[in-house]
Structure 1
Amino acid sequence: MANWGLTRKQIVMLAVLVFGTFVTVLNQTVVSPALPSIMSEMNVDAATAQWLTTGFTLVNAIMVPITAFLTDRFTTRRLFLTSMILFTCGTALAAWGPSFPVLLGGRLVQAAGAGILMPLVMTVLMWTFPVDRRGTAMGVFGIVIAFAPAAGPTVAGIIIDQANWHVMFWIIAALCLVVIFFAGAVLERGGETNKDVTLDVPSVILSTIGFGGLLYGLSAIGSYGVTADSAAGVVIGAVALAFFFRRQLRMEQPMLQVRVLANRKFLIATIIVMLVQGALLAGGILLPILLQSYMGFSATTSGLVLLPGAIIMGAMGPVAGRLFDKHGPRVLAVTGTGILALTTSAFVFMGPGTGLVTLTAIYTVRLFSLSLVNMPISTWGMNALPDKLVNHGTSVQNTFRQVAGSLGTAIIVSTSTAVQNAVAGSTDATTAGVFGIHMAFVVATALCVIGFVLTVALVRNKPGDEAAADEDNKHRSLIEQIMKRDVYTLPEDATVLEAMQLLVNNHISAAPLVDATGKPTGFISDGDIMRYLSKRGQMIMDPVVMIVQTVDAYADHKDYAHKLEHLMSMKASDIGAKGIIGVNVHADLPEVCRVLGENHLKKVPVLDNGIIVGVINRSDITHFSMERYLADRAEAQ
């Protein structure tokens, strides 16, 4: 700990925050292995039981935009303690759970607390740690939180087999009380409050009725068919959502800035992520039911089957980020959605005769493929938004991702229940149940195939590809809009003479050296040439001194001419810089400014998949910023 450079107080605070979030994230994945036991004890079907997962996810989604208001209105310490107390009360209610409605109520209260906690902790970490310590804090936070979803199913399975699901929730409640005790002792007040900020209550009501009505209607159709109640739920939900979206579009400060969906690339990314999320969560519910209810395995075994995939998905987060920077979104997303569709379809043919190793391997590959889709597609969509809309884009995408997870799961699991009920009279219970699960995975496969088709047709890597489909320049990333596309390069084996001719003929001061594939290997500038021609008895840092020394060298004409002649025959790579300083085409504007400022550059190459696709100047950024400021000011007036 001492090597991290954190004080003892910072270490304790980090431990409390991380452990508190770990408990809430762990809670999100412990329910799946418990579903078969809950269904048996409370005599409910899968379409009803899945509310414990989908209801939790839905409330989380509704809390995302509300949390923005709460973080402005209340201090972070007060909000953290309130969310933990709310989560603890919900956990205790679920642990008691004498009936399904009480258990579900506890899960929904849990979700309200957890929905506040996750974004809040990120804020707390930002104000608790100085800039030079935030990387350490966030790194530790990310590693621990990534471990929670992996550990959840296995831990839950062991507890359920040794005791029961009630004990599982009581243990989580006890851990929450420990977090509350230490948080009250070590957390500082933190954050400035704004008592003038308001929450649009009608928007909250409309979103809750809309999403909740759809979820209820779809689940009820799965259990009881199309009835007056289920039809009313779907209709009321759809109407409420229509009014919700209409209200958001008419408000100057909406609760959820749905206008960002007008950006074509962001809309495509959001749709793909929603399709994938719906198929993903349903698999996590159906597989434990298949293993425990129809294949006779224990809850511990079902948890262990889910474990490798969860570990790989968590570990792939940073790896997918690096692959995205290197290859762009298309190759990752096409590969990911393709494998996801294939592995999901494989579950259509699995049943009591399938081996555990086969099930585990296919489920693990399925989650691995998901890691190739979620981050790259989300980032690709977010990069299409202007900087001032990124925060709104994050809220919209997070909300829609969780809503899609809830609704997708409700549709898929309800399909399983409806099919099972339809064939129950003509076959035994096990065969009917397995057939229902097979048909549910058919629906899940269809969602994945739609996502794959959208990815192949609409997700592109290169700015040139985007330009061909976007002649009015409305849907390109910010860097693509600002940068100049005329880039002058030299082959890496070019001579200094060729370099000078390029610089003089095009009135530029520097040019990158590229290999046969077009990837940059170095850089040569007029400054490199000047350094070679100057009197280099010592390192010259002042450019004025260097120019004077070059002029002095020219006074001795013979020596200067000989030096110049020798220089022209040299390779540009011998006097130029090795390697290149550039920015990724998906970088945001602050990152470009940082690169320019820290390296004292006037311009910097823009890279896409390692290839130079443009160059961005300080003057370009200044002009864009001034133009944006004046436009926003005129709009405000």
Structure 2
Amino acid sequence: MHLSEKGHTYALFAVVVITCALGSLTQTVMNSMLTEVCADFSIDAAVGQWVTTIYMLVMGITVPVVVFLAKRFSLKRLVFMALGFYLAGSAVGFCAPAFGVLLLARVLQAVATGITLPLVQTVAMTRFPRERTGTAMGIGGIAMGFAPNIGPLIGGALANTTGWRSFYIILVGLLAVLWAANALLVKSHGDRESQAVFDGPSFVQSTLGFGGFLLGASNAATMPLASPEVWMPALLGLACIVVFVRRQLVIPNPLICLDIFRSRHYRAGFVAQNCLFASFMGITLILPLFIQGPCGMTALDAGIAFIPATVVALFVNPLAGVLVDKVGARIVCITSAAFLTVGAASFVFVGADTPLWVLTLLQGVRAVGVSGLVGPLNSYGLAGLNRGIVMDGSAFFATVRQACASFGTALMMLIISVVGLVFAATDPADAGVTAAALPYNLAFALSTLFAAVVLVTAVWKIR
């Protein structure tokens, strides 16, 4: 099949975006299948939650290595590599006879997602004309915004009908089509294939650093802060991240070139994006707990609260990208950050008697802000980099925002846990009725604080 140069670019971008969207969906789809998985393998929820934790850890570890891989292999080969890991993981997951084998499947899938996440942004910024990069990044934002939100809904539907294993066989079919599309429609010549140098110590430091911090933050969401499972990996992770950063600044072939921070565009996008993910990712866990806890509603009600927001993400992500190309990033980011902050602040005042439709509406307002920021913040931050280090910037974006999302979620869960215990100890009766929503209100206030930082950064730094 003969395609124009533009056609090859569109084909490459489509394959990368769809593969990344499937990876983001796979990250969250198991949340609503966990009960069935635990029952099938006769394990408890504490063990079963590793299907989510291991995915997050491996994805965070893989992303920094993509910079080296992109220098060593053509984009077409890199996509084949991601699809190969994903296909293998999906096949293993479908056939998994034991929980340990299912974890192996999740590891393979997470490696694939870690490869494709920075590729979406890199292709958007380097393969499209400058006046179309916002639109491309907006479309790519669907993979980071819409896909993970729809995951729990798809997982719940499949778990209640065809079973959790059916998701993996569906993936095998979809990935086979993507493999064929990459083979037939994407060309490899013209891509840079240099003999890159892989710095082993940097990889070890990155793995221990980001992996340890993610593990500590993940454990903090379900364990006491004083637990060794929380502070030991978190402190080790932070120490290794410091060593990693220092090494990148002095070695001739860094794993990630930190010259990206010479760009004021990148610095502003980095701060705003990390606070954005710290603000909104935790809400995907906190809001369902609030609806099913103090509000006394069902898991179905919790799912309904996210449906309009999910639909919003599907349309606002590409729209925001188009508007960036038309009117610039500043107006889009300030407007979207205002939606995010107003929506987040509104949750501070909800109570146990707040109707579901109000919670759904407020979540929809927040979703407009989130969807309107993901793509524009990426495109603005990466636009200030020269083409040679766009992949470095994209990879560091993806790695750190994952850590910030986990950190924000852990802090919110910590607030709920500590404040709930204080009220239960001082006035058990009141804690069970009048003040039941207060711990969640304070967690929502923290989300609002992060959102406000995004708004201030957009007003002050994005020009």
Q: CA deviation at 1:268?
A: 3.0
Superposed, which structure 2 residues align to 1:152-191 within 5 Å?
Answer: 152-162=151-161, 166-167=164-165, 169-175=167-173, 178-179=176-177, 182=180, 186=184, 190-191=188-189
CA contact (8 A) 1:321 1:375 kept: yes
CA contact (8 A) 2:26 2:151 kept: yes
CA deviation map 1:289-329 (0-9, x unaligned): 44456644244x54443232223233223432454456544
Distance 1:14 1:118, change over 3 A: same
Taking CA–CA contacts closer than 8 Å with sequence separation of 6 or more, which of the two structures ends up with the larger relative contact order? 2
Distance 1:95 1:427, change over 3 A: farther
CA distance in 1, matches of 2:74, 2:424: 55
Superposed, which structure 2 residues align to 1:356-375 within 5 Å?
Answer: 356-375=356-375
Aligned counterpart, 1:297: 298
Aligned counterpart, 1:448: 451
Q: CA deviation at 1:201?
A: 1.8
Aligned counterpart, 1:198: 197
Superposed, which structure 2 residues align to 1:366-405 within 5 Å?
Answer: 366-385=366-385, 389-405=389-405
1:111 aligns with 2:110: yes
CA deviation map 1:152-206 (0-9, x unaligned): 3432232234355x34643444435644774697477834674722221211111
Aligned counterpart, 1:247: 247
Q: Which amino acid aligns with 1:273?
A: Q
Q: CA deviation at 1:247?
A: 0.4
Distance 1:84 1:328, change over 3 A: closer
CA contact (8 A) 2:213 2:234 kept: yes
CA contact (8 A) 1:88 1:176 kept: no
CA contact (8 A) 1:92 1:169 kept: no
Q: CA deviation at 1:243?
A: 0.5
Distance 1:140 1:13, change over 3 A: farther
CA distance in 2, matches of 1:11, 1:83: 18
Structure 1 window deviating more from structure 2 (197-206 vs 169-178): it is 169-178
CA distance in 1, matches of 2:10, 2:462: 43
Greater radius of gyration (CA)? 1
CA distance in 2, matches of 1:259, 1:211: 20
CA distance in 2, matches of 1:54, 1:335: 34
Distance 1:330 1:121, change over 3 A: closer
TM-score (norm: length of structure 1): 0.58
Q: CA deviation at 1:356?
A: 2.5
CA distance in 2, matches of 1:32, 1:312: 22
CA contact (8 A) 1:219 1:411 kept: no
Q: CA deviation at 1:208?
A: 1.4
Q: Which amino acid aligns with 1:288?
A: P
CA contact (8 A) 1:157 1:303 kept: no
CA distance in 2, matches of 1:49, 1:413: 19
CA distance in 1, matches of 2:137, 2:249: 38
Distance 1:112 1:433, change over 3 A: farther
Which runs of 5 or more structure 1 residues have no equivalent in the other structure? 462-637
Aligned counterpart, 1:68: 67
Q: How many equivalent residue pairs?
A: 450
CA distance in 2, matches of 1:168, 1:423: 44
Aligned counterpart, 2:276: 276
Q: CA deviation at 1:44?
A: 4.2
Distance 1:328 1:245, change over 3 A: same
Q: Secondary structure at the match of 2:282?
A: helix
Q: Secondary structure at the match of 2:354?
A: coil
Structure 1 window deviating more from structure 2 (369-378 vs 204-213): it is 369-378
Q: CA deviation at 1:368?
A: 0.3
CA distance in 2, matches of 1:97, 1:414: 35
Q: CA deviation at 1:26?
A: 2.9
Q: Which amino acid aligns with 1:249?
A: L
Aligned counterpart, 1:337: 337
Identity percentage over the alignment? 28
Distance 1:216 1:388, change over 3 A: closer
Q: Which amino acid aligns with 1:287?
A: L
Aligned counterpart, 1:565: none
Distance 1:276 1:183, change over 3 A: same
Distance 1:140 1:438, change over 3 A: closer
CA contact (8 A) 1:52 1:104 kept: yes
Distance 1:110 1:411, change over 3 A: farther
Structure 1 window deviating more from structure 2 (424-433 vs 223-232): it is 424-433
Distance 1:125 1:323, change over 3 A: closer
CA contact (8 A) 2:63 2:115 kept: yes
CA contact (8 A) 1:76 1:190 kept: yes
CA contact (8 A) 1:78 1:189 kept: no
Q: CA deviation at 1:84?
A: 2.5
